Structure 1
Amino acid sequence: MTSRPLPIPVERIEKAILLVRGQKVMLDRDLAVLYGVETRPYDGKHCIPVS
């Protein structure tokens, strides 16, 4: 049986939510901490151009 990580306090998550142009957003670094992963630099190789 694997142990589950401790839950992140709601207050910490709420502090990470930003309001940008009327939309609630979270920065990638905050999401990475929340999900326990690392962020990597974006190189643009997998970008789909929007015309």
Structure 2
Amino acid sequence: MKNELSIPDDIITSKIYYIREQKVMLDRDLAELYQVETKQLKRQVRRNIERFPEDFMFELNQQEFDNLRSQFDTSSWGGTRYAPMAF
């Protein structure tokens, strides 16, 4: 018997954002789904950047990040000062 993790569709759907005319998930949400720290996810992506197609991931610019933060309770971002990656 395999150990499978089943995540309800509504939880995944709530973590999808529309940025740069694309539906994306942010690094912190992917890290949560994969049960790893966000910094660990970002570190692995940067170490293996050649494995990712050019259009697979981008980092939010400061304006996009500020706009996103203004839409949510600031405390939900954990005080992060680095713009997230979008996948």
User: Which TM-score tier does this pair reach, normalised by the shorter chain?
Assistant: 0.5 to 0.7
Deviation (angstroms), 1:5: 5.0
SS in 2 for 1:40: helix
Q: Does 1:7 align with 2:28?
A: no
Q: Give TM-score, length-normalised by structure 2.
A: 0.40
How many residues were matched structurally? 45
Structure with the greater relative contact order (CA < 8 A, sep ≥ 6): 1 or 2?
2
User: What is the one-letter code of the residue matched to 1:40?
Assistant: K
Deviation (angstroms), 1:6: 3.6
| Matches for 1:1-51 after TM superposition, within 5 Å | 4-40=3-39
Determine the C-alpha separation between the residues in 2 that align with 1:7 and 1:40: 24
Determine the C-alpha separation between the residues in 2 that align with 1:18 and 1:11: 13
C-alpha RMSD over aligned residues:
2.8
Q: Give TM-score, length-normalised by structure 1.
A: 0.63
Determine the C-alpha separation between the residues in 2 that align with 1:11 and 1:34: 13
SS in 1 for 2:18: strand
Higher gyration radius (CA):
1
Q: Which runs of 5+ in 2 are unaligned?
A: 47-87
Q: Percent identity of the aligned residues? A: 52
